[in-house]
Each structure stands twice: as structure tokens, then as C-alpha cells.
Amino acid sequence: MRVLFLSVQRNLNIIGLRYIHECALEAGHDARFLFLNRFNDGGEPALEALRAFVGEFDPGIVGLSLTAHDSPPVRSLTGLLKQWFPALPVIWGGIYPTTEPEASLEFADYICRGEGEEMMVELLDALEHGRPVDDIANLGFKRDGEIRLNPLRPLVTDLDRFPILGPLPSMGYIQSKVAVEPVTLGHLKKYSLFRGTIYRILVSRGCPMHCHYCANSFLMRLYPDWGLRWRSVENVIRELEQAIKIHPAIKFVTFADDCVFSMKLDLMREFCREYKARVNRPFAAKATPAHISRERVDLMVDAGLAWANVGLQDGNDRVCKEVYGRPIPVAQFEKAAQILSEYPVAAYYDLILNNPFATREEDVQTAELLARIPRPFFPQALSLTFFQGTQIRERALKECPEQVVDPETKDMYRSVYRPEDELKIIASVLHRPLWRALLARFKKAPDSGLTRALVRMAGFYSRMVLFPLLFFRLLVRSQRNSLWTAVKLLPYVVDTRLISNFDLLHNTKDSTEE
């Protein structure tokens, strides 16, 4: 069966859809993967080249994976495919059709809810041999105008059964300008963050948290046994060894998992020992404050931990627990920040802004927390987005519907300006005497025009002067405080996306996050 998988995400570091593609290949199907990372940028000539490529390959089905952010271009692309090839079926998968199956089936012939590797192989087998698809688990479709959502299959617990990925997909293509051509490491260097020197990998599925703003809260209701599942250490290390052999320019590894630090200690010890001996590249990993301890950080730093991303979200216990569903005390975050400050690790802390359920006093408490924890660290600011299927969206629709912006069009990396949120951001870099004076002014007259102007000025100065300096300081720290190593890395890490990462110009970030 010929099947074409398409990705419209701006970055080439795709993981989920590539697993499905590799599973289709392993099952004996003629599967191709096409990056459309600049879809619609090339105009009519690019569309004609795309049409010619699809027509020449003549797939029996096309598959796309999407988030809410990706849904507008995916709808557009699906419409074009239906216009060009009316009989060609299209299937959507990913978190958007999982949470919004009815809306997705207005455009796609089929949808996949939940995990898609086994479902897709079963669907391809059925289509190839002319068998009915009515009872394929995880599949959704319309029949006689009625939507049918088949039951879900059990979660895959043995993640090692899936093929090992590499830097680029097998049978992979890209439309970088007009022509569709085989994808190469040169494309990876051109279109991926840090010029293709980062290798992005998943070693688990699931998350130890079920935060109200995250799709995990929806998946927990969808799957009663939703929880963490891990690949074996040997399986992970073999993927990394293979990736480095294919692409020796890989300088860093980033673990895309929600919380690598939640490994059981025995597994972490084995992982760190094998990683240090066989991979030996600096890496980035995510954690919750509850999983930061000196024992765990000791192990990870010895193995190569260079960047640690820890979720704070808010500096008020009520907001964390009641609004976000994160029962981690702020004091525990402070302890985690203190521990990380004692190691040569670049720390960046997730922070949610534009929260309509927090009071101004609670926002000030968050700013004060960020001002007193050890520097340097980077505040990874995200604007609260009410994604489909999340508990916080349900609450917002009841209590403040005017605050619910369509997540398809909202850029969660761009915050709505509020001086109380700006104070949180600049608390990480602004000279402390100046910040304290600004905070005192805000507490005295928060709504005055002068206060807002002063906060804006401080924010502009922080973004244009202090944050670039902070970036370099963290880069040095991530390289075990080696100034010379950090300088040598600058050609790889300084490009136009750096401006986006640090929100210097309030511009849009790639839809795949590093």
C-alpha cells in the first residue's frame, strides 16, 4: 500500500508522525514522508510541484498529524488534496483530532484518536486487501452522515517494539522552495534550530503530572491507565549512537519528554552510566520541582546535563493547586532552584502569563519569587492558552468566556501586555535595586500611566540588552563555565530563531519546540 505522510510544522525535528511512518515501512508498505515546512510560502509554482509529486507517487492514502496550532494549514492542505485528487482519502492524527474528532471529520475522511502506530498499520493492511475498516480500534470516520468513533486499543507498554528513529526519515522528501527533493542533512542544518546540531529524542510516553491546562488532563480521562511508560536504556542509547554515526555534527541532545527526571533511580543510574560512556554529548532535560534532588542532579550532571527546564508556572500555591492542578508547593520549587544553582547547568523555568484566575497580588508574589531565587536563569514565558479538551478551558468557558481565544490562531509564545506580567519577566535580569524600585512604584500606583511606561521601558531594555547577555552567560554555564567552548558554539546557536526564542521582537516561534 502506498501511503504519504505530510508534516507542515516549521521545524524538521518531528517525532510522533515519524514513528508511524517507520512502522508503516517496517510492515512492508511503500511509505514516504514529505516535509512541507514552508507550506504556502512558495506560491503557485510550489503548489504545482507538490501536486505533481503527489500525483506521480499516487498514494492510496495521505496522513497528517496536527496540533491546534497546525490545524489552519492542515485544513488548507487537505482542501487542496481533495481538489486535486477527489478520490484520495486523508487521515488526521495527533492531539487535535484526538480532542476534536467531530471538527476534524468535517475535513478528513478518517481520524486517529490516541496512539497511531498500530492503528495505521492495521488500516493500511485493510485498505490494501479491500477489507472493511469499521472495527479498527482508535479509528474515527463518518458513515451515512453519522460520526463513528471506534473504541481505543490498550496503550502500548513495550516502547522498544517500535523502530528506532534517526536524524532523517527513511524515504524522506522536502519541499524547501519549489521543487520536491530527497531530504538531506543539509536541509536539517538549514531548517532546524541550532543549525541541525541538536538531536531530539523521546524516551518515554506520558507525564507524572496532569495539569489542567495540558492535554495530559484530557488523555488521563480518555485512558484510565494513562501513565508513564519508558523505553529501555539500551534501546535509547542505540538510537543516539546510530544518530551520531549518521550525523557526526550532532553536538547536543534534547529529551523532548515531559519529565525525564521522573525516571526511577535505578533506571536513571543505568541511563546516566551508559549515556556518559557511549554518547557523551551535553543534553537538555525537563523536570518538575518534585523530581529535583541532589542525588538525581548529581547523576544527570555527571552524565552531561547542560540545560534543565523546570516548570514553575506560578509563584502562588493557590494558583498552582486550584487553577493549574499542580499540587507542588512553591517552597519546593525554591528548593529545586537552589539545588540547580549549585551546578554548572543552564536553568530555564516555565512561567504562565495572562492568567485571568489570578489576582494582581498573586501576580506580584510570582514576580517577587523570581526576583529572589538564584540567578542566572531564563524565564520561559508562555501565555495561558485554553486548548481543546483541557479542564481549564471548561472552567474558562463558564467563568470568563471573553478570555477564551481560539488556540488555532493564538501564539502562546506572545503574551498580552500587562505590567504585572512584565514584572515577572524582567525580575530574572533587571538590576535588583532598579527592579525593587520599579516594584515599589507598581505597588503604590499600579494603574498610572507613568508606572506602565516605566515598566515598558524596563522590559524593552531587558529584552534588547540584558536577555542577550543572559543567553551568553547561560551558554557559558552550560559548557561547564568554559568561555572558550561557549564562544566556539556561537555560530551554531546564533541565528534568526534566537531572536524568536528570547522574544526580543515578539515574533512567532517554530511550532516544534526545542
Name the residue among 6, 4, 25, 29 with its Cα closest to residue 124. 29
Residue-wise burial string across 37-56, b where 16 or more C-beta atoms lie within 10 A, e elsewhere: bebeebeeebbebbeebbee
Q: What strand order describes the sheet that includes 172-175?
A: 146-149, 139-143, 110-112, 90-93, 61-65, 2-7, 30-35, 172-175, 180-182
The DSSP string of 233-264 is: HHHHHHHHHHHHHH-TT--EEEE-SS-GGGS-
Q: pLDDT at position 495, please?
A: 57
Q: Please provide the average confidence, as pLDDT, over all residues in the chain.
A: 93
Q: Above 80 in pLDDT, residue 291?
A: yes
Q: How many CA atoms lie within 13 A of 196 on its CB side?
A: 19
Which tens digit of pLDDT belongs to each residue from 450-486?
999 999 999 999 999 999 999 999 999 999 999 999 9
Which tens digit of pLDDT belongs to each residue from 104-127?
999 999 999 999 999 999 999 999
Which tens digit of pLDDT belongs to each residue from 132-175?
999 999 999 999 889 999 999 999 999 999 999 999 999 999 99
Determine the average pLDDT of the residues in 171-183. 94
Beta strands in 13-119 (DSSP E): 30-35, 61-65, 90-93, 110-112
Which tens digit of pLDDT belongs to each residue from 221-258?
898 888 899 999 999 999 999 999 999 999 999 999 99
CA distances from 68 to 120, 197, 254, 323 (A): 21, 28, 24, 22
The DSSP string of 144-167 is: TTEEEEPPPPPPP--GGGSPPP-S
Element (H, E) at 486: helix 483-493
Determine the average pLDDT of the residues in 294-298. 98
Determine the average pLDDT of the residues in 84-105. 97
**Helix orientation angle between 360-372 and 432-444, rounded to the nearest 10 degrees:** 170
Instruction: Identify the structural domains of the chain with CATH numbers, from first to last.
Output: 2-161 (3.40.50.280), 192-501 (3.80.30.20)
Q: Above 80 in pLDDT, residue 183?
A: yes
Q: Above 80 in pLDDT, residue 507?
A: no
Beta bridge partners of 381: 351
Q: pLDDT at position 505, please?
A: 37
Which residues 6+ apart lie within 8 Å of 512 measured at CB?
9, 10, 11, 13, 14
Name the residue among 261, 342, 255 with its Cα closest to residue 300. 261
